[in-house]
Amino acid sequence: MDTHNCYHCGNALGTALISSADKQFCCQGCKTVFELLTANNLHSYYELEQAPGAQPRPAEDQFNYLDNESIANQLLDFNENEISIVTLYIPHIHCSSCIWILENLQKLSSGIRSSQVDFTRKKLSITYKNTETSLKEIVTLLNSIGYEPTISLEDYTSTKNTKKDYSLLYKLGVAGFAFGNVMFLSFPEYFELSEFWLEKYKHLFRWLMFFFSLPVVIYAASDYFRSAYKGLKNHILNIDVPIALGIFVLFVRSTLEISFDWGTGFFDSLTGLVFFLLVGKFFQQKTYAFLSFERDYKSYFPIAVTRIQKNKNQDRYTEENIQLYEVAKNDILLIRHGDLIPVDCTLKKGNALIDYSFVTGESDAVTKTTGDKLYAGGKQLNGAIEVEVLKSVEQSYLTKLWGKEAFNATKKPTYITIIDGISKYFTISILTIAILASLFWLFYNPTKAMNVFTAVLIIACPCALALARPFALGNMLRIFGKHQFYVKNADVIEELTKIDSIIFDKTGTITTNKETSIAYQGVPLSVKEERLLKNALRGSSHPLSRKLYDILEEHDILTADQYDEIIGQGIEAKFKKDFIKVGSALHTGNLHVKNQLKTAIHIQTNDSYKGYFQFTNTYRKGIPKLFNTLNNYYDLTILSGDNAGEKKQLQSMLPKSIKLYFNHKPDQKLEFIKTLQQQNKKVMMIGDGLNDAGALAQSDVGIVVSEDTNAFSPACDAILKASEINSIPNFLRLAKAALSIIKSSVFLSFVYNLIGLYFAITGQLQPVIAAILMPLSSISIVLYVTALTNWKANKILNAKKTTLG
């Protein structure tokens, strides 16, 4: 039987092997996949990994059930306007080649628009045009190239494949079992006992230790060899290279010693090394999983929706703001103009014009009628609508939506971490030191050469360096979340440390909507006109609109036949024969008050100007102290779309160096930020997430200040609860503290490695002791950064009671 392996899947070749050019395959299926990839210029698949694929199974009719529309619809995340999205669980995803081929599926099928791999969960999200291909054809294609998805309708209708990976636990068990037995068998050698029976069977004991070490090297340590091989194949010296080399050298040297009866070998050190390495990895995995759970948006993502309820014994409806996770099946929700739809639902009332570009990347809006299904993530563009919830919200879906690539198109990650910069040179240095030290001992004392070589490779492993950043920033994300500052990812924290300019919006950001006083000036509104105004404002999410809507008397709900909200200007709505305009003086046609300096909402009904509601803004408590604190470190600007009516009040409240700009429309705000960035400024924009979406996206860090309304804004990098706005200086200090902690942990790691290297090079450190100390250093770094970030957070955030109002 031929001992070679299949070029595609790596399986052993049988007698009936199949050849193509200079390649050999175990079956016709693997040969077909190879030819398919080659024909589509995807042969690079094999350059990333040796034998990366799985053997394709004969499809026959096994996927015919996907032709059933009702079954297929249960599997789809999205299905609208010729675009469908499905997420599939692919158990065969295991390497860089898998990711590469699965994210290039559009080259194998023209109907597939894009595909994205979630490597850790082994999931594949595919966006495709359902008029050109079908779910069955996609699944059949995946099966044909060796990536058959696991499809369970029960899983998809509940938790969507929540399979856990226990491989690390299995490897830890194997290594622990082998380590315990090898230590037990080594006792006679340790104590140099010369008892007859022990001496007679010592060779048996040594070979038993060899067999115990085999599953440790082949299985338990396989991840280190695989990682090192991938790195070397791509000309990268990663941190697993010295570990894999140390394990390999220990195993080969030990095998040679017992084979030629030179000694007992180092099987105790070998199995102990792998066991303690895996203990450290297990500890890291559990700790980081805890941090991720602590910042799970299911617990505290600050999105509120408006639920409509009918009062008992009354023909009246009330509206209440509730947290998103309180939404239940059959609830009736109000979706205002510009709001994102938070759940899958059906349209009950209103004119729906839905933009699904957040989900699909397609910008064409879709018109929907009563009874049609609406998908979570769509944006309503035509007034207010009422929808009935089909199922309780999965907030993890909105979290996925928030991090979607479409929302980050204007921001390219530019930060290169400290670890990435030094790990390559660190590995080269360690390998050089190990070789030179072992050469020295070969001439000076050959019996120590192997111990020195192995101990150097193990003790100086830079694993602790790689842990500092993710654990420090991961814990900081958790801390921020507990204090109602919800940051999208760890990169945002690093960007916060670079900020030198901060821009604030005014209305809804440094002013509060809860204490605003409103007075009407003009021709009194009739009951009919007030009813029109109430229903026109019902569809708007602007802070002033919401405030005015709340103080108007309750009226019967009307559905607008036409609705348009012009950002920065106002609202236009038509209800049968009646027409109303709400917004700025210029928008409503009153040129006589266009220079009015007070914040106001003007009203025009049926081409007749009526008057305006004048707002007296109340600024949030502590705003003067907030600006005084920030002014010591940052260039501050207030950039408002309102008129300059409150300029004097702001000048009296705030430091004189703060720049004030008014009458800036959304596109002007964006251009203002772009101008600053062209001057090499790092800009943080703080706004309400409505008219500021463009400016938030353009800024280096965009923060939305949230009250009780729906503040979900994919354009932003963080969401801040309005009550915590005075904590901004402390959050910025914490971000800088986190980076300082990372740098100090890197320094400590270097000190540890230098001390360990001294003992290893001088031959005073046994490999098994090095194997214990190495994971301990990793664990100590994790404990250090976690404890120090907690201490810093407690110190800084508690200080706000005395330093800020």
- List pLDDT tens digits, range 533-586: 888 888 787 777 878 887 888 777 777 788 888 776 888 888 888 898 988 887
pLDDT at 804: 39
> Is 490 strand, coil or helix?
helix
Same structural domain, 528 and 502: no
The CATH number covering residue 398 comes to 2.70.150.10
Edge-to-edge order in the sheet of strand 570-575: 511-522, 608-619, 599-605, 578-583, 570-575, 562-566
Mean pLDDT computed over 784-805: 74
Q: Has residue 282 been placed in a domain?
A: no
> What average pLDDT score do residues 112-120 get?
80
Q: Does the structure show a pLDDT above 70 at 160?
A: no
Predicted local confidence at residue 636, as pLDDT: 94
DSSP 8-state symbol, 378: -
pLDDT at 730: 93
Specify the pLDDT at position 415.
38
Say whether 790 sits in a helix, a strand or coil. Answer: helix
The two structure tokens encoding residue 22: 């200079």
Report whether pLDDT(12) > 90. no
Among 172-176, 381-385, 418-422, 432-436, the range scoring the smallest mean pLDDT is: 418-422
Q: Quick check: is 340 in a domain?
A: yes
What lies within 8 Å, CB to CB, of 377 at 6+ separation is: 78, 340, 341, 356, 358, 359, 397, 398, 401
Most confident range (mean pLDDT) of 206-215, 555-564, 777-786 is 206-215
**Residue 590 within any structural domain of the chain:** yes
Cα(192)–Cα(473) distance, integer angstroms: 51
Closest by Cα among 444, 452, 358, 453 to 406:
358
Please tell me the least confidently modeled range out of 276-280, 469-473, 595-599, 717-721: 595-599
Lowest mean pLDDT among 73-82, 226-235, 619-628: 226-235
Check if the beta carbon of residue 610 is closer than 8 Å to that of residue 639: no
Position of tokens 């509601």? 613
Cα separation, 667 vs 692, in Å, equals 9
618-628 average pLDDT score: 89
Distances (CA, A) of 554 to 387, 476, 537, 549, 742: 21, 45, 12, 9, 56
Q: What is the pTM of this model?
A: 0.65
Tens digit of pLDDT for each residue in 459-498?
765 555 666 777 788 788 888 888 888 888 778 888 999 9
Residue 78, domain member (yes or no):
no
Query: What pLDDT band is residue 734 in, cutting at 50, 70 and 90?
Result: very high
Model confidence at 220: pLDDT above 80: yes
Same-domain status, 503 and 593: no
What mean pLDDT is predicted for residues 761-768?
75
Q: What is the pLDDT of residues 49-76, one digit of tens each?
A: 555 555 555 555 667 778 777 778 778 8
* The two structure tokens encoding residue 34: 């190879």
- Residues 640, 594 share a domain: no
Which of 1-10, 279-288, 560-569 has the highest mean predicted lDDT (pLDDT)?
Answer: 560-569
Residue spans of alpha helices (H) in 612-653: 623-630, 647-653
Is 650 within a domain? yes
**Is it the case that residue 299 has pLDDT exceeding 60?**
no
Confidence of residue 201 (pLDDT cuts 50, 70, 90): confident
Predicted confidence (pLDDT) at residue 421 exceeds the cutoff of 60: no
Question: Is the pLDDT assigned to residue 738 strictly greater than 70?
Answer: yes
- Distance between CA atoms of 244 and 228, rounded to whole angstroms? 7
By percentage, how much of the chain surpasses pLDDT 90?
Answer: 10
**Torsional sign, CA 611, 616, 620, 626:** positive
Rounded to a whole number of angstroms, the CA Rg of the chain reads 33
pLDDT of residue 448: 82
- Please, what is the average pLDDT of the chain? 77
Q: How far apart are CA 381 and CA 340, in angstroms?
A: 10
d(CA 559, CA 362): 28
Question: How would you label 198-231 residue by residue, b for 16+ Cβ within 10 Å and e otherwise?
Answer: eeeebeebbebbbebbebbbebbbebbbebbebb
Over residues 242-265, mean pLDDT: 81
Which range scores top for mean pLDDT: 98-102, 131-135, 615-619? 131-135
DSSP string, 422-463: HHHHHHHHHHHHHHHHHHHHHHH-HHHHHHHHHHHHHHT-TH
* Average pLDDT over every residue of 314-319: 66
Q: Are residues 662 and 699 in the same domain?
A: yes
- The closest of 561, 478, 547, 480 to 515, measured between CA atoms, is 547
Residue 73 covered by a domain: no
Among residues 419, 431, 339, 427, the alpha carbon closest in space to that of 385 is found at 339
CATH number of the domain within which 644 lies: 3.40.50.1000
Look at 491 and 702; give whichever has higher pLDDT.
Answer: 702
Q: Is the pLDDT of residue 801 over 50?
A: no
* Domain end (from 584, 601, 618): 618
Q: What pLDDT digit, counting tens, does each position of 172-187 carry?
A: 899 999 988 888 887 7
596 and 518 part of one domain: yes
* Mean pLDDT within 715-722: 82
Q: Which of 408, 430, 459 is the last residue of a domain?
A: 408
Answer yes or no: is pLDDT of 15 > 50: no
User: pLDDT higher for 731 or 316?
Assistant: 731
Average of per-residue pLDDT across 146-158: 63
Q: Are residues 561 and 490 in the same domain?
A: no
List all residues 6 or more positions away from 413 whose beta carbon is below 8 Å from its beta carbon.
491
Residues 643, 629 share a domain: yes
- The more confidently predicted of residues 233 and 497 is 497
Domain boundary among 392, 408, 424: 408
Residue 683 in any domain: the answer is yes
Containing structural domain, residue 591:
513-618
Average pLDDT over residues 653-674: 88
CA-to-CA dists, residue 403 to 406, 692, 713, angstroms: 8, 19, 11
Residues in the chain: 805
Q: Are residues 610 and 640 in the same domain?
A: no
| HSE, side-chain direction, 13 A CA sphere, residue 401 | 27
The answer to whether residues 646 and 608 belong to one domain is: no
For residue 55, being part of any structural domain is answered with no
- Per-residue pLDDT of 393-409, as tens digits, reads 765 566 666 656 555 54
| Separation between Cα atoms, residue 98 and residue 92, nearest integer Å | 8
> Other CB atoms closer than 10 Å to residue 152's CB: what's the count?
13
The set of residues, in sequence order, having a beta carbon less than 8 Å from that of 486 and lying 6+ positions away, is: 297, 300, 301, 302, 480, 718, 719, 720
Task: Give the per-residue pLDDT at 130.
Answer: 87
- Mean local confidence (pLDDT), 28-40: 63
* pLDDT reported for residue 48: 47
Total domain count for the chain? 3
- Give the pLDDT confidence score for residue 54 in this predicted structure: 55
**Are 316 and 400 part of one and the same domain?**
yes
Q: Which of 141, 152, 145, 99 is nearest to 121 (CA)?
A: 99
pLDDT for the residue 311: 64
Q: Count of CB atoms within 10 A of residue 500's CB?
A: 14
CATH number at residue 570: 3.40.1110.10
Lowest mean per-residue pLDDT among 251-255, 476-480, 587-591, 730-734: 587-591
Q: Output 671 or 103, whichever has higher pLDDT.
A: 671
Q: Across residues 304-319, what is the average pLDDT?
A: 70
Q: For the chain, what percent of residues have pLDDT higher than 70?
A: 72
Whole-number pLDDT of residue 177: 93
Which residues have a Cβ under 8 Å from the Cβ of 473 and sit 6 or more positions away?
Answer: 490, 493, 494, 738, 742
Please check whether residues 614 and 626 belong to one and the same domain.
no
pLDDT value of residue 791: 92
Instruction: Say yes or no: 637 and 667 in one domain.
Output: yes
3-state per-residue secondary structure call for 260-277 = CCCCCCCHHHHHHHHHHH
Q: Model confidence over 342-385: pLDDT tens digits?
A: 888 899 888 888 888 777 766 677 888 888 888 888 888 877 88
pLDDT of residue 293: 47
Least confident residue range of 210-224, 719-733, 769-783: 769-783
Give the pLDDT score at 635. Answer: 93
Phi-psi group of 550: left, alpha or beta (phi > 0 → left; psi -120 to 50 → alpha; rest → beta): alpha
